[in-house]
Amino acid sequence: MLKIVKLAFSYMCHYKKQTLATFLGMVMSAMLISGIGSLLHSGRIADLESARRQYGDYHYIIPDRTGWYENAMKVPDTKDYTITDSGVITVKKEVEEPYQVIFCSADEGYMKSTGRSLIKGEYPDKSDEIALDYYSINNLGVSDNIGDNIEVCGSIYTLSGIISDGVEENVQVFVSQDITLDMEEKFIFLKFDEKREVFEQFSALIKKYEIDFDTTKRNRNVTAYVGGEPTESIIDTLKVAVSNSNAGLVYFLGSLNESKELMSKIVFLVLSIFGAFVIYSLFEITVVKRTEQYAVMQVLGLEPKHLFGTMFVELFVISASGYMLGCIAGNMIAKLIYSNIGTIFSTDSNITEFFISKSIIWQGAVFFLFYIIIICLMIIRKMVKSSDMQMIRNNITYKRFKRGIFSKKSHNLTKLLTKRFMFGKVCTFVGIIISLSLGGVIFLSTTYVAQSTEKNNNHAFRTDEGLGADIKVYIDSDNGGYSISQSIFDNIKKIDGVLQADETSYLLGEIMLENGIFKWKEFFPETANDGTKQEQRIIDNYNGVIVQQGEDSYRLKVNVYGYSDDMINELNDYLIEGKIDSSEIKKSNSVILKPLTDGQGNIGGVDIKPGDTINLKVPKTMGNPELLKFNGIDNEYVEKEFTVAAVCNRPLAKNDYFIGDNGTDNVDIIMTNEQMLNNFKVEEYNSISVRLDDIKKSHSVTEKIHAEINGLSRCMVKEYSDAINQRNKELKYKVCFFYGIAFMLFCISVLHIVNSMKYIVISRRHEFGIMRAMGITDSGFLKMLISEGIRYGVFTSIFMAALYFVVHQIAYYMMIKVFLYIIAEKNIMLLPCIIMSAVNILICIISVIVAGKSILKEDIITEIMHI
C-alpha cells in the first residue's frame, strides 16, 4: 500500500501541469457547487426572514378555550415538542358598525411574534386608555397625538400609545389587559423548535390537549420553510401519483418540491454532473499521457488492482485538496456577491446575512468520492480490454480500423487532416462536444429561468400579493349594501398626486354547468364525497359554493367583476386563450372567464372555452343577504347570456369577503364597468386602486382620500407604498441572484472550453511536429488550427442549441406545472443563443491560436519525439 502511495505522489510531482490542471478543475467544480449551494441556501433563509417580517415570527395560532395554554407553559420543553416562543392576544369586544373594530389586549410575546412594537407613548394600563396603529388611526379618522381624547365606537378614550401596523387588515384597538368588556377569547401564537420537525411537534401538542385541528391556523408563509406543513412519505406520494389519473408526474414532482426542496436538489445534481465532466476530461488526459508507462508496469507484473489503487490515491489527494480549497474560495466569492447585491441593486443597506450550506458541501464530497471510484474503474476497464502492445503504442482501443488512402479525392491536405484529427475517434469527439456544450446549456437555461422568474414575480406581485396599487380604497364587508359612489371616485381621481385610479364593481353571481361541463367533482367539498366539509360561513351565507341540480348539472357561485378599460386590457398579461380588447368586449357584450386552477396549474375543471356561452344569474340587489343563497324567486334576479371572449389565469382587483377569491379556487366572470351598468344597473364600486405619480406623496394623498370618504360606512384605505418598495427590492434581489449564478456558470464554462481546446492542440504535438518537418508553413499551420477551432465551435454550438431546446421545454413545464408560475417565458431565447454560440466559436479560435503559437516556439525535433 505504501508503495502505491509513493508511486501516486511520484506521478503527481513529475506531471506537474496535468496535476495542476486536474486540481484547478476540482477547485472550479467545488467553487461552483458550494458557492451556488450556499447562495441558494442563503436565498432560502432570506425568503424565510422576509416572510417573518411580513407575516410574523410564529408558526400556529391556537384558540385557548379550555385553558390548555397555562398547563402547556408549565412544561414547554418535552420529548414530543418544544415551545420556543409564545404570545397571547385576547379579543375583548367586536363591533360591526360603522366599521369592524376589534378591541383586544396583547402581551409582549404577541408583539414579538407579529413583529409589532410600540412606536411612541405607552401601552394602555387604564380602562379609558387605548393604543392604535396608523392603519386604525387613518381609517377611524382620529388624532395621532399622544394624550388626545378620541371617540371610538361611541366612547371617549385617551390615546396612550401608537403601535406599528400589523399584517391583518382590520381595525384593532388595544386596551388594558385588566379591562372587562363583552367577551374574553384568547388566541395563542406559538413558535416551536425549528431544529426539529415543526409539524410533528404541533401534532403532538394538539393531541395531548385534545385541541380540534380545524380551529387552528397556520402561518403558511413561514411554516412552508421550516417543516410546518403536513407531509407524506415519498412512497405514499408515488402511490397517489400512480393510482390517480389526475395526479401523475406533476403531482409527484410538486409534492417533492414542497416537502423535499426539489429545486435545490436538481441544481445540485446538474452542477455536480457538470463538475464531473470537467474532472473526468482532465484526468483522462493525464492517463492518456501515461498509458505507455502503465503498460510497461503491467508487463513487469503490476496488477490492475494496483493501478486502480495508484489512480485512486492520486485522484483522491488532488480532489480532496482541490475540493477543500474550492469550497473555501467558492463561499468567499459567493459571500462577496451576496453582500454586494443590496448596494448594487437597491438602496437598502440592511443586507441579509450570508450562510454557508454545510449539507451541500458534505453531499458534494460524497458525490465526488463516489465519482472518483467510478472514474478509476472505467479507466481500468478500458485498460483490461486492451492488450499490452496497444497500451505501449498509446492506443487504448479494441476496435480494428481498416487501412485506406483518404486523399484520393481531395488535394487540400490541411483540410483533410483537420477532419481526421477531429473525427478519428468518434467517441472522443462526441465526448468533447458534450463537455464543451454543457456549460453553455446550463448558462442559457439559468438565464431563461431568471427571465421567467422576473416575469412571474412581477405578475404575482400584482395579483397574488395584491400590490398592484400604491393605495387601495375598499369596502371592508361581506354586506353587499355598502359601496363607493361614482362622485367619490371622481373626486379621488382629481386629488393632486393621483396618476391613475381604477374602479372595480362587484356582484355575486351563479352560472349553470350542464351536460358534463363541470369535470372536477373532487375540487369542492360539496361534491367531493370524501368527508371534507365546506366552511360553515359559506354554507350559512351562500348555501355553499356549488349545488347539484341533476345527475350531471350544477349551479356554481362565481365572483362577477366590473373593471375599468385599462384593467381589462392589462389582463392580456394573464391571457390563456382568446382575445382581450376592452372596446371589442363592450361592443359584443362578451366576458372574460377566470377558471378553476388545481395544485398542478391545470385549468380543466370547468370546460368553458372562448366562443362558448354562459348564463349568468345575479341578484337585483346585493343588500339582501337571502338573495345571495340564490334560492329566491326568479323576478328577484337578473339572468343574462354572455359569450366568453377569453380565458385568463388570474384576476386583478379581487373581493375576498363573499365566497373568497385567492386567484385559483373560484371561477370569476370579468367584464367592463360599462357592461355592469348596462346589464345589471350597477352604478357604484366595491374598490378603487390608486397609483401615484410620486411615491413620496403617499401619505398626503391618503389623508385627502380619507377626507373624501369621511362618513362612508365600512370604507377603508390601505397604503401599500412601503410594502411595494420592500417587495420591489426583494424581487430585484431574486433576479440578481439568478443572473449571478448564470454569470458564475459562464465563467467556469469559458475556462473549461479554453482548457479543453488547448489540450486538443497540445496532445497532437507529435503529429504537428511531423507536419512542420514535411514543410507546412507557420501561417498554414495556424490556418489549419483556426479551421479546427471554428469547426469545434460550430459543432459545440449546434449541439448546445439542440440540447438547450430540450432543457427549455422541461424547464417551462417544471415552472408552470411544478413551481406554479403564473406566467413563464415560452419562446426560445434566440439572442442569448446566438451570442453564446458566437462566444463558443470565438473562444475555441482564440484557444487554438494561443496553443498553436506555443507549439511554434518549440523546435521540430522536440515535438516529433514528444509522445
Site of grid cell 402561518: 219
Say if CB 198 and CB 226 are below 8 A apart.
yes
- As a whole number of angstroms, the distance between CA 699 and CA 611 comes to 46
Residue-level pLDDT at 817: 73
Poorest-confidence range of 104-113, 615-624, 771-780, 856-865? 856-865
Residue-level pLDDT at 138: 77
DSSP 3-state assignment of 481?
coil
End-to-end CA distance of the chain: 30
Q: How far is CA 346 from the centre of its chain?
A: 20
Residue-level pLDDT at 346: 34
DSSP 3-state assignment of 230?
coil
- As a whole number of angstroms, the distance between CA 172 and CA 513 comes to 42
The 3-state secondary structure of 119-148 reads EEECCCCCCCEEEEEHHHHHHHCCCCCCCC
- As a whole number of angstroms, the distance between CA 566 and CA 549 comes to 38
Say if CB 823 and CB 261 are below 8 A apart.
no
Tell the burial category of 347 from Cβ atoms under 10 Å away from its Cβ (0-12, 13-18, 19+): exposed
Q: Of 525, 523, 517, which is closest to residue 606 (Cα–Cα)?
A: 517
Helix axes 16-55, 2-14, angle to 10 degrees: 90
DSSP 3-state assignment of 408?
coil
Say if CB 555 and CB 549 are below 8 A apart.
yes
Residue-level pLDDT at 677: 94
- Confidence at 189, pLDDT banded by 50, 70, 90: very high
State the DSSP H helix or E strand holding residue 369, giving kind and residue range, or none if neither: helix 358-384
Could you count the other beta carbons within 10 Å of the beta carbon of residue 232? 12
Q: Is 821 left (phi over 0), alpha (psi -120 to 50) or beta?
A: beta
Q: Which residues 6+ apart lie within 8 Å of 245 measured at CB?
A: none
The 3-state secondary structure of 457-475 reads HHHHHHCCCCCCCCEEEEE
Q: Say if residue 53's pLDDT is above 90.
A: no
Of the spans 306-310, 452-456, 550-554, which averages the highest pLDDT? 550-554
Tell me the pLDDT tens digit for each residue of 730-759. Answer: 666 666 666 666 666 666 667 666 766 766
- Of residues 396 and 578, more confidence is placed in 578
Residue-level pLDDT at 342: 39
Mean pLDDT, residues 139-146 taken together: 84
Q: Is 587 left (phi over 0), alpha (psi -120 to 50) or beta?
A: alpha
| Helix segments in 385-475, DSSP class H | 388-392, 413-423, 426-462
Residue-level pLDDT at 348: 37
Residue-level pLDDT at 351: 47
Mean pLDDT, residues 461-481 taken together: 79
Mean pLDDT, residues 488-507 taken together: 93
Question: If you average pLDDT over every residue of the chain, what do you get?
Answer: 81
Q: Say if residue 674's pLDDT is above 90.
A: yes
**What is residue 825's DSSP assignment?**
-
State the DSSP H helix or E strand holding residue 678, giving kind and residue range, or none if neither: helix 673-680
Q: Say if residue 586's pLDDT is above 90.
A: yes
State the DSSP H helix or E strand holding residue 199, giving kind and residue range, or none if neither: helix 198-208
| Vertex 729: Cα angle to 329 and 220 (nearest 5) | 90
| Vertex 791: Cα angle to 789 and 793 (nearest 5) | 70
Mean pLDDT, residues 275-280 taken together: 73
Tell me the pLDDT tens digit for each residue of 627-664. Answer: 999 988 889 999 999 999 999 988 988 888 899 888 88
Residue-level pLDDT at 344: 34
- As a whole number of angstroms, the distance between CA 288 and CA 307 comes to 14
- As a whole number of angstroms, the distance between CA 520 and CA 608 comes to 13
- As a whole number of angstroms, the distance between CA 150 and CA 165 comes to 19
Q: Which residues 6+ apart lie within 8 Å of 13 measured at CB?
A: 19
Residue-level pLDDT at 139: 76
- As a whole number of angstroms, the distance between CA 655 and CA 477 comes to 10
Look at the alpha carbons of 54, 60, 63, 67 in this order and tell me if their dihedral is positive or negative: negative
Tell me the pLDDT tens digit for each residue of 407-451. Answer: 555 555 556 666 666 655 566 677 677 767 877 887 788 778 877
Site of grid cell 385553558: 67
Q: Say if residue 494's pLDDT is above 70.
A: yes
Say if CB 864 and CB 766 are below 8 A apart.
yes
- As a whole number of angstroms, the distance between CA 803 and CA 67 comes to 62
Strand partners for 61 = 189, 217
Could you count the other beta carbons within 10 Å of the beta carbon of residue 633? 7
Q: Say if residue 501's pLDDT is above 60.
A: yes
- Of residues 463 and 236, more confidence is placed in 463
What the block records as the C-alpha cell of 777 is 508553413
